[in-house]
Amino acid sequence: MKYLKKIIKEFHYLVVNSLPVSMANQLPLAALSSKERWSIGIYSGKSPFSLTAPLDVKNPVMTRRQISDIRARFVADPFMLKVESTWFMFFEVFNQSTRRGEIGCATSQDALNWKYEQIVLAEPFHLSYPYVFEWQNEYYLIPESYQANSIRLYKASKFPLKWDFIGNIKSEGLFLDPSIFRYADKWWMFAETNPQFKLDTLRLYYADDLLSNWLEHPKSPIINGNAHIARPGGRVLVMKDKIIRFTQDCQPDYGTQVRAFEITELTTTNYQEREIEKSLVLTPSGYGWNSSGMHHIDPHLIHEDRWIACVDGRG
């Protein structure tokens, strides 16, 4: 029976990967393994810790079926930016042909209805978690690039479609989901770093400039041996009086849900944090596109008391 199942699995793989893009992307979700059924949705609410699917949105807003230029297995890890009147979303697109992640882009006028544009960044190694941000009127992108043993920094030469590699922030190590933010005139960055992929070690680095000498914080690793709260799960929020980091809960399974922590002290010598009371920011719904897991969030304040966020879910 095991041998028969193996033959069936290999036959399925060959069939799926031999189909043209238009046909492969129309395969039912049941044709994918449960750990590969990631898609992207939009949530909103009065705070970044209390978000739900709005009534005027049909989630998911982006799936592998919208990807028109490559054969996609799934989409995940969305980050958004609003530039003038247009929202831009960047996300991982897993290329079914190369078995690697690439970075795709979609656009929207209201952050609710999205149009897929194209793949904007691909390398000969896996890319995901496209942490996009603006600094001094320039646009930067830090994707996860663990197969290159580095944290790579890209700059838009023609936003949003063309990105140029400008240097390594960190090298010679495993860095998962690097999450950068600006605070107290310095750059700070979290990354999960367990070389055995146990997803239980969170390290913190800081620097004066984006490509200057990045130093590891003396209290790092911030988290050691706890896969519930170590791996970053989206954009770090720097609000007036609060810094919030989101983290994937990877127990009992990878990408189960998202928690939130408030950083109560952050200097080059000290670090303190506390878990937000309503810590479970994202949880699986039990049915549909996000039935079995959610592991990413990027919230944005759009009005005084309204937040909107792109999230992902596993069906």
Rounded to two decimals, the pTM is 0.90
pLDDT tens-digit map of 75-122: 999 999 999 999 999 999 999 999 999 999 999 999 999 999 999 999
Neighbours of 226 (CB within 10 A): 16
Q: What CATH number does the domain located at 37-314 have?
A: 2.115.10.20
Q: Is the pLDDT of residue 10 over 80?
A: no
The whole-angstrom separation of Cα 243 and Cα 235 is 11
Please state the rounded mean pLDDT for residues 161-179: 97
Please give the Cα distance from 24 to 81 (Å, whole number): 30
Do the bridges between strand 237-238 and strand 257-266 make them parallel or antiparallel, or are there none, so unpaired? unpaired
pLDDT surpassing 80 at residue 31? no
Strand-pairing partners, residue 167, are 153
Domain boundaries, the chain: 37-314
At which residue do the structure tokens 């209805």 appear?
113
The yes-or-no verdict on residue 34 having pLDDT over 80 is no
The confidence band for 304, taking pLDDT boundaries of 50, 70 and 90, is: confident
The Cα-based distances of 159 to 112, 121, 131, 163, 236 in angstroms read 21, 12, 14, 8, 22
Residue found under tokens 């929207």: 108
The tokens of 15 are what?
Answer: 């069939």
HSE on the CB side for 92, CA within 13 Å?
Answer: 27
Q: Mapping DSSP to helix (H, G, I), strand (E, B) and coil, where does residue 119 land?
A: strand
